[in-house]
Amino acid sequence: MRFATYHLNSAVDPADERVSIGARALTGDDYHGHVCWDTEIFLLPFYILTWPEAARALLMYRFRTLDAARAKSAGLDFRTGLFEQFAGYFALEQINLADYAGRSVPMDVVLGRERTQRSQVVKQADVVALLALLPEEFAGETGAANFHYYEPRCGHGSSLSRAMHGLVAARLGYSEMALGYFGRPQRLILRIPMWRLVVACISQPLAGSG
């Protein structure tokens, strides 16, 4: 807990509303500083409870960039009932992930990063995350249609992905699929030796804490 709190407190600047917390925060540059929805969904509640000034700065960052985000969003395709993952997504190469079911590495390793970026393979389907977080916004068959489209196109390269898919599958009544999704993240986390480091950090008091 102390280890996680340290990273959360060091990643935010309550005095600057022009910046937010990028994916990987200060621990890596894989996402090139992109600020994803993870910040609001998983991090913001911590700051609301413990550091309201930091929470306000993060929300103001989103407010300041809202117009640009709206301009880039593709929205609903009324012909298909699908929400486009991003502009031009439907025109990208379609790849059957079932052909790579036995892989032990992410799809960008299998296909190469450039080809993956030119395909409809997604690391985690943000549209499915919307279905999970805002189910009331997807009335009728819209939710099911979008889930059926994106579910087979997701490579689940993120540990956050399967839980979102499992939640949507459960709400749609696909119990076996949901159980499969909920089981995989637990097995993945239990295999990661990082838990030893976390336990060690929890058991040691922070410097200066007495």
Average pLDDT, the chain: 84
Placement of tokens 């200060």 in the chain = 26
pTM > 0.75: no
128 in Cβ contact with 151 (< 8 Å): yes
Q: Which pair of structure tokens corresponds to residue 132?
A: 């999970």
d(CA 163, CA 36): 17
- Length, in residues, of the chain: 210
Phi, then psi, of 77 in degrees rounded to 5: -90, 105
Nearest to 6 by CA among 23, 27, 22, 20: 27
pLDDT surpassing 70 at residue 2: yes
pLDDT surpassing 60 at residue 198: no
d(CA 144, CA 153): 15
Q: What is residue 26's predicted lDDT score, i.e. its pLDDT?
A: 75
- Mean pLDDT, range 1-13, rounded to an integer: 90
- The percent of residues above 70 in pLDDT, for the chain, comes to 87
Condensed to tens digits (0 to 9), the pLDDT of residues 41-93 reads: 889 999 999 999 999 999 999 999 988 888 777 788 878 888 888 888 999 99
Lowest mean pLDDT among 73-87, 112-126, 146-160: 73-87
